[in-house]
Amino acid sequence: MISRMSTLFLRTLRDDPADAEVPSHKLLVRAGYVRRVGPGIYSWLPLGKRVLDNVARVVKEEMDRFGAQEVQFPALLPREYYEATGRWTEYGDGIFRLKDRKGADYLLGPTHEEMFTLMVKGEYSSYKDLPVNLYQIQTKYRDEARPRAGILRGREFLMKDSYSFDLDDEGLKRSYELHREAYVRIFDRLGLDYRIVSAMSGSMGGSASEEFLAATPTGEDTFVSCTDCDYAANTEAVEGRAGVALDASDEPALKVYDTPDTPTIDSLVELFNRLDLGRTVTAADTLKNVVVKLRHPGAKETEVLVVGVPGDREVDLKRLEAAVHPAEVELFEAEDFAKHPALVRGYLGPQGLAEAGYTYKVDPLVVPGSSWITGANENGKHAAHVVYGRDFTPDAAVGAAEVRSGDPCPRCGHALTIGRGIEIGHIFQLGRKFTNAFEFDVLGPDGKPVRVTMGSYGIGVSRAVAAIAEQKHDELGLVWPREVAPADVHLVATGKDDSVFEAAATLAVELDHAGVSVLFDDRRGVSPGVKFKDAELIGVPTIVVVGKGLAEGLVELRDRAGGERENVPLEQAAARLRELLG
Amino acid sequence: MISRMSTLFLRTLRDDPADAEVPSHKLLVRAGYVRRVGPGIYSWLPLGKRVLDNVARVVKEEMDRFGAQEVQFPALLPREYYEATGRWTEYGDGIFRLKDRKGADYLLGPTHEEMFTLMVKGEYSSYKDLPVNLYQIQTKYRDEARPRAGILRGREFLMKDSYSFDLDDEGLKRSYELHREAYVRIFDRLGLDYRIVSAMSGSMGGSASEEFLAATPTGEDTFVSCTDCDYAANTEAVEGRAGVALDASDEPALKVYDTPDTPTIDSLVELFNRLDLGRTVTAADTLKNVVVKLRHPGAKETEVLVVGVPGDREVDLKRLEAAVHPAEVELFEAEDFAKHPALVRGYLGPQGLAEAGYTYKVDPLVVPGSSWITGANENGKHAAHVVYGRDFTPDAAVGAAEVRSGDPCPRCGHALTIGRGIEIGHIFQLGRKFTNAFEFDVLGPDGKPVRVTMGSYGIGVSRAVAAIAEQKHDELGLVWPREVAPADVHLVATGKDDSVFEAAATLAVELDHAGVSVLFDDRRGVSPGVKFKDAELIGVPTIVVVGKGLAEGLVELRDRAGGERENVPLEQAAARLRELLG
């Protein structure tokens, strides 16, 4: 295919869009790949549509390769199916809901577990039918609270979602592994630098759910990786690993102090340093106790949970929520404290919580034998020398503190590093949640019903375009990997000489016949400088310049990524390019 | 590609779905191509997805061939754009509207004129930039009052919509012609039997809008075609052609009769035949006067219009509406009659309507000099010998009567025939409605702004699948044209002999390597009869049977459409098939 820039629906922009913060957003708009329609809603211009199609093609090829079968569901879905699993309500503000002319409720599908379960249940009934892996590449909708970064977090986006159906856990693991291998091939072909990280903490089985994160400083997800072993996890999913217990036998008895005017941990630390406990106190010596409410699925009442973390750390609510899944975490508000006078706001300590009937859990950084400055459960008073195992005993440990670079790896104890990434894929051994909801059994070999088990797998196709752009660019513009580039070759004709344009046009046709797609800058009256700038911004991997050199019969090949240049006789150019393109 | 039926996600059904009335709906469900999710909402199973993709591919290839450029818009669109053109309101119940979490209004795009206009306005500013033709193949939403016939009239459907932008009417005609030619190639390649009919009556320019109708008795659209000339039009768009005036000089004077108990035209005719007017009276001798309200765009008040048609014809409200476009036609209700005592319900005649200030138009079947039995504008009374030109003079003619087979062609006067069809394509010289709404000008060669003119063009991609199925089937099942078939060859292995299955598997691989896609029925323990029935139902154009004949080294090739059978040596089968497939 030859696309001539004289007629291509493309206008590059000199300036970054005002609302753009991350490089992919800036460059995809400036280079004419996407345009904003509304918050989190974008359209794809011709070059963008090609890149999107290329990513989708790679995904399709690798899904087909392992025997997954493509289907297509509507986005407009009746409420009843999502009501059956409780997700109509669970999604809260996160989905788009609407009514039809008859007042019937619909949603725009954010993900299709319900629909696939019902589809397979509708067709299959025997153990002989399984396993089956089905996928679709389909437009999804989520009413994000904060759509951002162009197509990186949109409200309408293209996703590959797939679902596996197996007879048993072993089968599910095989389907999961097939997906995992396909994802590795897909993201390798897309040229992405990515990490596979646990998306679930150890208690639920870290290998039952993994995320593929494209490493980039602008990513929304944070993940840890061990500097020594191969442990890597989403920060939310970092396993809590019990630390080594300390010997507290020399610790003085618990003592209560008047601590007026200590609204912050800093002011509390300052006060205790003035009190002179025999050592310098830091925020890490204080024990912060945070009260939350857990809302268990289907439960009317919430459960109160007190969580203790070292005072120099924030509670990571997402990590806590991952740890208490499927319960949801809600903040404890002033009105809640009013109903629980035993929980003294601002002066809460773990002493006596169990006796008062409250559940108390600590982050694993709070180890047995550790001694703390903490609330004394009286207004205006704090206690020191509050010892784990002597003055309080938590009900359990829970990974709740923010994870920091240098924290010990939960597997091997070496230091963790923290990175940021964009979630481009997610694989999940879902189990029987949905097959239970729809009572999907097949007849087993012994004639008895077997409840089917499922996996659920996603790739953000449009997001992958942004992730590639985020990783593959330089100060001049985009630098697409060959597999997804909008063309194989960007052919630039420069100057005013007709013979140059004719030679370039002939080369374009020659390349086209050889199956090489060409973006041909055939514009007259546009300076070479503008054309080169556009070529660098657009980011096709190989740039061919037909210009001054033609007097000596030469054209120039430029590698967009490395910048290498090479002069080649015109008549050898097509052959050399086919060689370069493999 | 080889798809093995032992693992293919496909279950054919013996019985028609209860809600299916038309063949395409029955067969696409029974053969496992689509499944119902909700009213007018369907999912595509693997075989259906392939056919849908094939149709989309043909559309894309032919759009690309004439230089149209593919883009992609979201389906979720902010209200503001459709508010600017008035369509947010105009669509009435016909579109899906929704709110996001912040309460902002959105719609699900039924068509994208607004968005394309704004997109081109955003990028282009000079006459040098035009013409441009842009298209997308995208999911559309319409909240149909009566979704029907499976995917034939769905509420979520796949459509190719395109838009041309030109400087002047000549350019628009060229873009329109390019689309028209592309549509002819597309529908020819899809194997459809179709008619191109005027979609707009003569007063608005019949050639400015045409529909492509797939001829089938189950179609929702009716169209006329002339038995002599090449005139063809949607019934709604049939031009009104004035008939030959009659000589009424011998007609007796208007006479009023008491006509009690004549609630229907039949009873009126019976009465007048008893009165003996000197000839036998039929319903065609009576003049029926129907009152409607015209709602002009933007007008608060409606206009009253009285329309006269021969009493043996119904008023075709769609045809009338097409004729008075852009006004909408509303029925005159009892409460309206109450406000207009001069319009005597059931006894309305054209005499004196002009004096009473009402507009009166007649269908062209009511010719000058014709004499009628009609209302006398008094309760219980009718008049006879009411002569056009003597006793009443209409303000104008308007094509309002139902069109019948045998009616005169408005071009040549020969008889029209009536057919039914499915609208699969529509091309429309839209003009400046949207560029006016968004004030989209480009700078002309003389430096002065030129208002851009647009065309709008659509193909129902998912509907085309149903239209093909509607035309291409027999009593056994579907009969796909090669270009859209879910596979090139349906390879059936029969019997219990391992060597048969091995030979078939080898042939499948051989075909696959030759680029022939194979649907391979490799199921064990399924009878030949069931396999043949499935093959006939599924409708792949060529069926290959590897079975008993293999003992003599032969396989059988069957043509699904014609039923021809041919025995071919196994080792020559692949070559022969490649020959057949062209």
Q: Which residues of A touch B48 (CB under 8 A)?
A: 72
Burial of B209 (0-12, 13-18, 19+ CB in 10 A): buried
Check A71 against B155: CB less than 8 A apart. no
Check A74 against B108: CB less than 8 A apart. no
Q: Which of B50, B71, B102 should be substituted to probe chain A, the one whose Cβ sees the most A Cβ atoms within 10 Å? A: B71
Check B77 against A38: CB less than 8 A apart. yes
pLDDT reported for residue A423:
94
Q: Which residues of B touch A101 (CB under 8 A)?
A: 93, 143, 145
Name the residue in chain B with its Cα closest to that of A124.
B11
Closest partner residue to A72 among B10, B44, B122, by Cβ?
B44
User: In the predicted model, is pLDDT for residue A276 greater than 80?
Assistant: no
Check B49 against A71: CB less than 8 A apart. yes
The H or E element spanning position B487 is none
Count the helix, strand and coil residues of chain A and give each as a percent rounded to the nearest 5.
30, 30, 40
Q: Which of B76, B137, B159, B519 should be substituted to probe chain A, the one whose Cβ sees the most A Cβ atoms within 10 Å? A: B76
pLDDT reported for residue B433:
87
Mean pLDDT to the nearest integer, A477-490: 97
The CATH code for residues A487-580 is 3.40.50.800
- Residue B172: CA count within 13 A, CB half-sphere: 20
Share of chain A above pLDDT 70, in %: 99
Name the residue in chain A with its Cα closest to that of B80.
A38
pLDDT averaged over chain A?
A: 92
Do B201 and B237 touch, CB atoms closer than 8 A? yes
CA distances (Å), origin B364, targets B383, B502, B582: 21, 72, 53
Closest partner residue to A156 among B37, B75, B155, by Cβ?
B75
CATH match for A255-397 among 3.40.50.1370, 3.90.960.10, 3.40.140.10, 3.40.50.720: 3.90.960.10
User: In the predicted model, is pLDDT for residue A441 greater than 80?
Assistant: yes
Closest by CA to A138, choosing from A106, A174, A163, A104, is A163
Check A76 against B100: CB less than 8 A apart. no
Q: Which residues of A touch B4 (CB under 8 A)?
A: none
Do B229 and B409 touch, CB atoms closer than 8 A? yes
The owner of tokens 């694989």 is A427
pLDDT interval class at A413 (50, 70, 90): confident
User: In the predicted model, is pLDDT for residue B205 greater than 60?
Assistant: no
Q: What is the CA radius of gyration of chain B?
A: 30
The per-residue pLDDT for range B345-382, each reduced to its tens digit, is 889 999 988 888 999 999 988 999 999 999 999 988 99
Check A98 against B101: CB less than 8 A apart. no
Burial of B491 (0-12, 13-18, 19+ CB in 10 A): buried
pLDDT reported for residue B24:
92
Q: Which residues of B touch A64 (CB under 8 A)?
A: 1
Name the residue in chain A with its Cα closest to that of B115.
A37
Question: CA–CA separation, A408 vs A278, rounded Å?
Answer: 28
pLDDT interval class at A124 (50, 70, 90): very high
Helix ranges, A140-217 (H): 169-189
Name the residue in chain A with its Cα closest to that of B131.
A7
Tally helices (H) and strands (E) across chain A.
14, 32
pLDDT reported for residue B207:
61
Mean pLDDT to the nearest integer, B56-85: 96
The CATH code for residues B21-191+434-469 is 3.30.930.10
Name the residue in chain A with its Cα closest to that of B144.
A101
The pair of structure tokens assigned to B500 is 């048969």
Name the residue in chain A with its Cα closest to that of B45.
A71
The owner of tokens 């009465």 is B271
The pair of structure tokens assigned to A88 is 């109509």
pLDDT reported for residue A201:
59
Strand A69-70 and strand A132-141: pairing? parallel
Mean pLDDT to the nearest integer, A281-293: 92
Strand A416-431 and strand A565-569: pairing? unpaired
User: In the predicted model, is pLDDT for residue B203 greater than 60?
Assistant: no
pLDDT interval class at A582 (50, 70, 90): confident
pLDDT reported for residue A244:
79
Q: Which of A8, A98, A112 should be substituted to probe chain B, the one whose Cβ sees the most B Cβ atoms within 10 Å? A: A98
pLDDT interval class at B206 (50, 70, 90): low
The H or E element spanning position B118 is helix B113-123
Name the residue in chain B with its Cα closest to that of A91.
B101
Name the residue in chain B with its Cα closest to that of A116.
B43
Do B303 and B294 touch, CB atoms closer than 8 A? yes
Q: Which residues of A touch B145 (CB under 8 A)?
A: 101
Check B134 against A9: CB less than 8 A apart. yes
Do B417 and B227 touch, CB atoms closer than 8 A? yes
pLDDT reported for residue B201:
59
State the CB neighbour count (10 A cutoff) for residue A372: 25
User: In the predicted model, is pLDDT for residue B408 greater than 90?
Assistant: no
The owner of tokens 């944070």 is A222
pLDDT reported for residue A185:
98
Q: Which of B8, B42, B98, B175 should be substituted to probe chain A, the one whose Cβ sees the most A Cβ atoms within 10 Å? A: B98
- More confident call, B91 vs A132: A132
Phi, psi dihedral angles at B161 (to 5 degrees): -120, 140
Check A74 against B156: CB less than 8 A apart. yes
Do A497 and A505 touch, CB atoms closer than 8 A? no
Spatial strand order in the sheet of B255-258: B255-258, B381-387, B371-378
The CATH code for residues A17-204+427-469 is 3.30.930.10
Check B145 against A64: CB less than 8 A apart. no
Check A124 against B11: CB less than 8 A apart. yes
Share of chain B above pLDDT 70, in %: 99
Check A38 against B78: CB less than 8 A apart. yes
Closest by CA to B221, choosing from B59, B423, B478, is B423
Q: Which residues of A touch B11 (CB under 8 A)?
A: 123-124
Closest partner residue to B72 among A49, A74, A155, by Cβ?
A49
- Residue A437: CA count within 13 A, CB half-sphere: 19
Check A76 against B156: CB less than 8 A apart. yes
pLDDT interval class at A526 (50, 70, 90): very high
The region of weakest confidence among B211-215, B406-410, B506-510, B575-579 is: B406-410
Name the residue in chain B with its Cα closest to that of A13.
B123
Name the residue in chain A with its Cα closest to that of B35.
A119
The pair of structure tokens assigned to A445 is 């070999």
The H or E element spanning position B194 is strand B194-198
Residue A235 is classified by DSSP as G
Q: Which of B2, B5, B42, B43 should be substituted to probe chain A, the one whose Cβ sees the most A Cβ atoms within 10 Å? A: B43
The per-residue pLDDT for range B502-526, each reduced to its tens digit, is 999 999 999 999 999 999 999 999 9
pLDDT interval class at A174 (50, 70, 90): very high
User: In the predicted model, is pLDDT for residue A79 greater than 80?
Assistant: yes
Check B156 against A75: CB less than 8 A apart. yes
In sequence order, the 6+-apart residues with CB closer than 8 A to the CB of B264 are: none
Check A41 against B78: CB less than 8 A apart. yes
Check A41 against B141: CB less than 8 A apart. no
Closest partner residue to B96 among A74, A98, A145, by Cβ?
A98
Mean pLDDT to the nearest integer, A326-349: 89
In sequence order, the 6+-apart residues with CB closer than 8 A to the CB of B447 are: none
pLDDT reported for residue A306:
95
Q: Which residues of B touch A108 (CB under 8 A)?
A: 76, 98
Q: How far is B123 from chain A (nearest CA, A)?
A: 6
User: In the predicted model, is pLDDT for residue B578 greater than 80?
Assistant: yes
Burial of A333 (0-12, 13-18, 19+ CB in 10 A): exposed
What number of C-beta contacts closer than 8 Å exist between A and B? 138
Buried/exposed code over A390-404 (b: 16+ C-beta within 10 A; e: otherwise): bbbebeebbbbbbbe
Domain range list for chain B = 21-191+434-469, 255-397, 487-581
Mean pLDDT to the nearest integer, A322-328: 81
pLDDT reported for residue A206:
52
Closest partner residue to A37 among B44, B69, B77, by Cβ?
B77
Q: Which residues of A touch B517 (CB under 8 A)?
A: none
Q: Which residues of A touch B160 (CB under 8 A)?
A: none
CATH class of B487-581: alpha beta
Check B64 against A1: CB less than 8 A apart. yes
Q: How far is A17 from chain B (nearest CA, A)?
A: 13
The pair of structure tokens assigned to B504 is 């078939």
pLDDT averaged over chain B?
A: 92
Do B225 and B262 touch, CB atoms closer than 8 A? no
Strand B76-78 and strand B156-166: pairing? unpaired
Check B101 against A122: CB less than 8 A apart. no
End-to-end CA distance of chain B, in Å? 18
Q: How far is A6 from chain B (nearest CA, A)?
A: 8
The per-residue pLDDT for range B255-268, each reduced to its tens digit, is 999 888 888 888 88
The residue ranges of DSSP E strands in A40-130, in sequence order, are 41-44, 69-70, 76-78, 97-99, 105-108
Q: HEC profile for A494-534?
A: CCCCHHHHHHHHHHHHHHHHCCCCEEEECCCCCCHHHHHHH
Fold matches, B21-191+434-469 and B255-397 = no
Closest partner residue to B74 among A8, A11, A43, by Cβ?
A43
User: In the predicted model, is pLDDT for residue B434 greater than 70?
Assistant: yes
Do A442 and A449 touch, CB atoms closer than 8 A? yes
Residue A107's beta-bridge partner residues? A77, A97
pLDDT reported for residue B71:
98
Q: HEC profile for A352-420?
A: CCCCCCCEEEECCCCCCCCEEEEEEEECCEEEEEEEECCCECCCEECCCECCCCCCECCCCCCEEEEEE
Q: How far is A69 from chain B (nearest CA, A)?
A: 6
Closest by CA to B400, choosing from B328, B323, B332, is B323
Check A73 against B43: CB less than 8 A apart. yes
Query: Residue length, chain A?
Result: 582
Name the residue in chain B with its Cα closest to that of A102.
B145
